[in-house]
Structure 1
Amino acid sequence: MIELYQFELSQYSEKVRLILDYKGLDYRKIEVTPGIGQVDLFRMTGQRKVPVIKDGSNIVADSTEIAKYLDRQYPDRPLIPTDPKQRGMCLLIEEWADESIGIKSRKALFGALSQDQNFRKALLPTTTPDLIKGIFEVVPNDILKILGFGVGYSPDVVKSAENDLQQDLEALCLLLADSPYLVGDRITLADLSVAGLSMLIKFPDGPYLNLPASVRGKGIPGLADNLAYQPFFAWRDRLYSQFRKLTPGSSTTTGSAPTAISID
């Protein structure tokens, strides 16, 4: 079985989870503990970032490289079109989503966490002890480190990210206005990347993540609740309902819950 080394709240990990689910591949999530777990990850991969997959003797880091590996190794339900123009557009959108939605949604979410201690507490994994939850209610910088986000951002950086995401969401709504997919007539890596990476803007409205039910459908104020962007989130919800498996503990999922990292 494929092992996915991840942070539950990492949008790049979610991108890979969505790809694995779309391809119908069984996998086990292994939650990496920030700090000590990342040291173990470095010993295995030479870098400290998630996601990483271990598929037998093959170890692959980086969400884009993981997607390409899975497409080569498991060609059913291909991710990347063979038509040259569609292939180029798919790869271009995937790279754009990584660098724009992926990075800027972290910055914008930091602003939301800074303003709402209840939101900060709610985003901690469900297995977090109450004592730790109490500590992180008031320290947004540290909670982001625990969640794998890194350090905090200035108000200007947060505002700039929010403005850029508004443009991104507007553009996506326009692209999807008369088409069910971003590239061609079937789902591709472009769709799965955009859908998974937008997780932090608005959390999926379903039991897909190991997070409290109270955060489902919630997200960054001004983006997640803006009616102008609801066509995009409705499109994403349809992809989730079609392809994303429910988290362990639901009636329709298989596999084990996240565990402490263990490196062979």
Structure 2
Amino acid sequence: MLELYQWELSQYSEKVRLILDYKGLEYRKIEVTPGIGQVELFRLTGQKQVPVLKDGHKYIVDSTAIAKYLDSEYPDRPLIPTNPKKRATALLLEDWADESIGVKGRKALFAAISQDQSFRKSLLPVSTPDIFKSMIEGVPADFLSVLGFGVGFSPDAISSAIASLKQDLEILTELLADSPYLLGDEPTIADLTVAGLSILLKFPEGPYLDLPESLRGKGLPILADNPDYEAFFTWRDRIYTQFRKPLSGKPPAAGSAPTSIQID
């Protein structure tokens, strides 16, 4: 069976999970513990970042490389079009989403984590031991702000990221105005990438992530609650309904109203 070394809340891991589900491939998730788990991952693969896919004795690193590998080795339900122009456009949109929605979404979520202790704790996988959850909840906001400066997540950088995300969502909404998918009538790697990376802007309604039920449908209000982007998130949720498998034993929730993650 395929094995996915991942972090549950990594949007790049989610991109790969969505692709695996789209292709109907069975896989086992292996949650990598930050720090010590990354040391072991480095021993196996020569690098510390997730996601990493293991297929037999092969380790495939990076979400884009994984997507291309899966399309090559498991060609049913292809991700990448054969038409040269569509292929180029799909890969261009995938690369843009990785560098835009992926990077900026982390900055926006970091701000919410810094400002809300209970939210910070609730983002941990359900299986996380309570003692570790309490430790995470107790980290002072001032410490996280200093940490944010150290990794380039200053208040100005976060404000700029949110402004840019608004523009991104406007563009995506326009692209989807007259077609079911970004490149027409069939889904491609571009659709699955954009949908998977958007989880940090607004979590899906259904039980697709190993997170508390109370977080389903929650999002950054400045984006998720803005009616200008409602069509985009409706499209994203349709992608999940069509292609993403719910967690085992947890059917999708129906009719629950979305709530918000507060961020200044």
Q: Do the two structures share a fold, i.e. TM-score over 0.5? A: yes
Contact 2:114 2:144 in 1 (8 A): no
Tell me, in whole angstroms, the C-alpha distance in 2 between the residues paired with 1:142 and 1:236.
34
Q: Is 1:9 the equivalent of 2:2?
A: no
Question: What is aligned with 1:156?
Answer: 156
- Offset, 1:44: 1.0
Question: What is aligned with 1:256?
Answer: none
Note closer, same or farther for the CA distance 1:142–1:208 as it changes in structure 2 (3 Å cut): farther
1:97-176 mapped onto 2 (5 Å cutoff)? 97-139=97-139, 151=151, 153-176=153-176
> Any idea what SS the aligned residue of 2:224 has?
coil
Which of structure 1's runs of 4+ aligned residues deviate more than 3 A? 140-144
Question: What is aligned with 1:186?
Answer: 186
> Any idea what SS the aligned residue of 1:53 has?
strand
Question: What is aligned with 2:226?
Answer: 226
**Range with greater deviation from structure 2 (130-139 or 167-176):** 130-139
> Any idea what SS the aligned residue of 1:9 has?
coil
Question: What is aligned with 2:40?
Answer: 40
> Any idea what SS the aligned residue of 1:29 has?
strand
Tell me, in whole angstroms, the C-alpha distance in 2 between the residues paired with 1:10 and 1:43.
21
RMSD: 1.9
Question: What is aligned with 2:201?
Answer: 201
Answer 1 or 2: higher relative contact order, Cα 8 Å, separation at least 6. 1
TM-score, normalisation: structure 2: 0.89
Which one-letter code corresponds to 2:228 in the other structure? A
Note closer, same or farther for the CA distance 1:184–1:58 as it changes in structure 2 (3 Å cut): same
Question: Unaligned stretches of 5+ in structure 2?
Answer: 253-264
Question: Unaligned stretches of 5+ in structure 1?
Answer: 145-149, 253-264
Contact 1:203 1:217 in 2 (8 A): yes
Contact 1:108 1:161 in 2 (8 A): yes
- Offset, 1:152: 7.0
- Offset, 1:151: 4.8
Per-residue CA shift, 1:44-71, capped at 9, x if unaligned?
1111000001011221000000000000
1:70-89 mapped onto 2 (5 Å cutoff)? 70-89=70-89
- Offset, 1:141: 8.6
